[in-house]
Amino acid sequence: MSRQGKPTPQPPKDDFLIMRLSDYEEMCHISCFRMNREKGNRQLICFKFCSECLADEDDAPGDDEGAENWIENLTDVDEILKSFQWRPVGENYARAGTSRASYFRGKAKTASLAEAARGTKTISTFFSIPKDPSESIEFYDTTRDIDAAVEQLSAYINQNIVRQESRTKIEPWQLLQALSVCQYFEHLKAGMGKMEASFEVARTYYKSQTIWSYKGRSIRLWADYYLANYSFPVFKQGQHSKVESVIEDADIQVAFKSLLRSMNDSDRTPLAFQTKVNSLSDDDFSDDLFDVKEIKPQDISTKTAARWMKILGFFPTKASKGWFTDGHERPDVVEYREKFIADIMPKFKRMTKCETEIRPVLEDDEREFVVITHDEVTFYSNEGRQFFWLENGKKKLLPKTRGTSIMISGFMCQCHGFMSQGELKSYTFFHAGKNRDGWFTNDDLITQFNGLVDLFKELHDGMDIHIAFDNSMTHRKIAPDGLDISSLTLNDSTKKRKVRDGWYMKDGEMITQVMNNADGTVKGMKAILEERGEFYFNDSIRTLCRICKLCKDKVTPAVRFALLGTTRCCATSVLQAQPDFSLQREWLREVVEDVGFNIIYYPKYHCELNFIEMTWGWLKMKCRQRCTYKFDELKRLLPQLIDNELPLWLIRRHARYCFRFMVGYENGLKGPLLEYAVKKYSSHRTIPSGIIASLEEEYEASLKSKKRKFYH
């Protein structure tokens, strides 16, 4: 049985190997070796002598030729290994080394002695300490008499192996050290060189594989030192002064806990704790704590601060989030995304690479391409951190509501970021809500855009400017005076509203139609169609409803024709087919295109293509870090972050990140595979086209690797 009480396998890895020397069975000498098969070395463990040898001392080998020959044969480990036999270790066989319990008992004793000696002066204060001869090894002269050293080493080995009654307390590694040096001297006497001899001994005793091994150098140093001093160098491993961490002191722990508890939950982070510790003084604690303890913590890193916080009982606690799904891969969305990517990707060749300032090579009729993207975001005064370092059993109570909001509507390009000229800025604040500024509508967006047109033209003079918006319903709204079918009733309206004139074709001639009655009211669908001669169904006079169920469900004209035999199912469907209503542009498109710009809409649910979204995320992160749960502080913080702290290189990095997504969609990637490709090639402007075929195999391999790490 092993020391832990577990049965010993036959033969196990790291078990004891019992060896009988077949050439000297009359000595009844049994040695115990432990084989470490993973590292390939052999370490002498313990010794056992039979009762006959111990009873009759005269029969035991002593300082004679027989003992010397026995030692020489003992070093031939390769021959000895042939006679090895595996046997279970009995209770009479002692183990060498230090058990786990003994190790911690020694550590406790050392700690108590160190505590008792705390504050006392060292002996070097009163006396000069001579230099340890082991630190300056004098290399021996080859003319010295090696025979004397071999004779003394043989006596030392014989004393500690054969004569148990006079055996001094030495470790197995010390005996192996003496054996290796003795064999090294024998090789030198036989005419071997130092390097060859040391390598041969290291290979035999320590399984060293190369002539430049560490053990070979150690054997040469041991031999040099032994010839100079007739002793071995002092082994200093584990004898250095024991230093305990400051955090292990109970009083320091109490003081640091009080310090952490005094910090605001939102401010309690490893970085903040590190800053506090690195600037500590006794003024921060009562009773002059550090003077009493006679210690002063050294500067610590953020990682050490996090480890100390866990020792003190403060752990990161994160509020969990739910998951949701959207229409990212809906068929109509995918169709629009493919059309969007096919339209915009060729234009990127005409865009300046802002991170390298490389301008595109243009043809005579081409202009440089630039995208000015737009988006809105809302910040809340109580939108603080959801992740806190809390003491065990403690909870952080957050406000029940998100607090007062402030909305930002901004335009941004990757070459300038948020644009400004004097007091004019490309972003605006809006206090949305009842009894405040109301609700942000297309009217507010159009007003903001019209005020920035001159700024856009000045900063991007002569460029092909594209204004990009997200694909929301509000951005698709038709102008208030536009030909909007959804705002028309079947009969004439009673409300007065100005509507622009329409037109229709008759006998190849375009005829203008006034949409308002003489009293200012708006004509209904019936009156408009009757004037055009289109108010009929299936070539027969029949009353049409305003809108049928098929049109409400947005059924395509082809399906309606298959079901009804005609597309003239209601007044709405007939008006939609009229040229003036079908060519009616959205309000935003009209305004943008009328000033000479182009407009594009991102696909729905594809915020990863709009780089301003990542800028909003950065701003929200900064606001959470500095959240004071006060609206006035939020109003002061946001302009400071945008104007002074938001770096341009970060905006360009966000734009490059979104461009890699577009390249991935262009190459047919999507889902987790696309995300993997974007992260893998984060240092590239684009995803290399040559790796698309092998990318899926790499992704599968990475998933398997993650699973192996998880289970191991």
Q: What is the mean pLDDT of each run of 10 residues along the chain (712 residues)?
A: 43 36 34 35 35 39 43 45 41 44 67 75 60 44 69 82 54 84 90 88 78 80 88 74 74 86 87 86 53 62 91 78 63 92 90 75 87 95 86 84 93 93 93 90 93 94 93 88 87 86 89 90 88 68 64 76 76 86 91 94 92 94 91 94 94 90 88 83 72 78 63 38
Query: Exposed (0-12), middle (13-18) or buried (19+): which is 88, by Cβ within 10 Å?
Result: middle
Which residues are within 8 A (CB) of 563 and not within 5 positions of it... i.e. 6 or more apart? 550, 555
Which residues are within 8 A (CB) of 396 and not within 5 positions of it... i.e. 6 or more apart? 265, 317, 388, 390
Q: What angle do CA 96, 97, 101 make, to 5 degrees?
A: 120
177: nearest Cα among 235, 225, 222, 229:
222
Q: How far apart are CA 573 and CA 564, in angstroms?
A: 13
Structure tokens belonging to residue 629: 């749960």
Decide if 408 contacts 432 (C-beta within 8 A): no
Q: What is the DSSP secondary structure assignment for residue 644, as one 8-state letter?
A: I
Decide if 234 contacts 226 (C-beta within 8 A): no
Q: φ, ψ for residue 610 (rounded to 5)?
A: -105, 110
Q: How far apart are CA 485 and CA 499, in angstroms?
A: 11
Instruction: Kindly provide the b/e burial profile for residues 261-298, where b requires at least 16 CB atoms within 10 angstroms of the residue's own CB.
Output: eeeebbebbbebbbebbeebeeeebeeebbeeeeeebe
Decide if 327 contacts 333 (C-beta within 8 A): yes
Q: How far apart are CA 201 and CA 223, in angstroms?
A: 12
Decide if 626 contacts 637 (C-beta within 8 A): yes
Cα–Cα distance list, 6 to 9, 10, 15, 37 (Å): 9, 13, 12, 20
Structure tokens belonging to residue 368: 């440089």
Decide if 505 contacts 579 (C-beta within 8 A): yes
Q: Is the pTM of this model over 0.75?
A: no
Q: What is the DSSP secondary structure assignment for residue 640, as one 8-state letter?
A: H
Decide if 178 contacts 193 (C-beta within 8 A): no
Cα–Cα distance list, 172 to 34, 39, 257 (Å): 11, 18, 47
Count Cβ atoms below 10 Å from residue 323 Cβ, excluding itself. Answer: 4
Place of tokens 């229709």: 504
Decide if 500 contacts 481 (C-beta within 8 A): yes
Decide if 189 contacts 72 (C-beta within 8 A): no
Query: Exposed (0-12), middle (13-18) or buried (19+): which is 92, by Cβ within 10 Å?
Result: exposed
Quickly list DSSP for 172-241. Answer: HHHHHHHHHHHHHHHHHHTT--HHHHHHHHHHHHH---STT-HHHHHHHHHHHHHHHHSSPPP--TT-SP
Count Cβ atoms below 10 Å from residue 574 Cβ, excluding itself. Answer: 21
Q: Which domains does the chain have, with CATH numbers?
A: 16-98+131-229 (no CATH), 246-312 (no CATH), 331-476+588-666 (3.30.420.10), 485-584 (no CATH)
Decide if 372 contacts 465 (C-beta within 8 A): yes
Q: How far apart are CA 345 and CA 662, in angstroms?
A: 8
Which residues are within 8 A (CB) of 533 and not within 5 positions of it... i.e. 6 or more apart? none
- Pair type for strands 464-469 and 420-421: unpaired
Which residues are within 8 A (CB) of 503 and not within 5 positions of it... i.e. 6 or more apart? 510, 511, 512, 513, 579, 580
Place of tokens 């007739």: 230
Structure tokens belonging to residue 620: 């929200």
- Pair type for strands 424-425 and 420-421: antiparallel
Dihedral, 196, 199, 200, 206 alpha carbons, nearest 10:
170
Q: How far apart are CA 123 and CA 111, in angstroms?
A: 19
Q: What is the DSSP secondary structure assignment for residue 351, as one 8-state letter?
A: S
Decide if 656 contacts 681 (C-beta within 8 A): no
Q: How far apart are CA 299 and CA 308, in angstroms?
A: 13
Decide if 342 contacts 324 (C-beta within 8 A): no
Which residues are within 8 A (CB) of 89 and not within 5 positions of it... i.e. 6 or more apart? 2, 8, 15, 16, 18, 32, 95
Which residues are within 8 A (CB) of 255 and not within 5 positions of it... i.e. 6 or more apart? 285, 289
The amino acid sitting at 226 is: Y
Dihedral, 9, 12, 18, 20 alpha carbons, nearest 10:
110
Looking at residue 430, its pLDDT comes to 94
Structure tokens belonging to residue 430: 């809006």
Strand partners, 373: 412, 468
In angstroms, how far is CA 695 from the centroid of its own chain? 21
Cα–Cα distance list, 553 to 477, 559, 578 (Å): 19, 12, 20
In angstroms, how far is CA 634 from the centroid of its own chain? 30
257: nearest Cα among 393, 153, 375:
393
Report the SS3 class of residue 609. helix
Quickly list DSSP for 128-175. Answer: PPPPPGGGSPPPPPTTS-HHHHHHHHHHHHHHHHT-GGG-----HHHH
Which residues are within 8 A (CB) of 94 and not within 5 positions of it... i.e. 6 or more apart? 46, 48
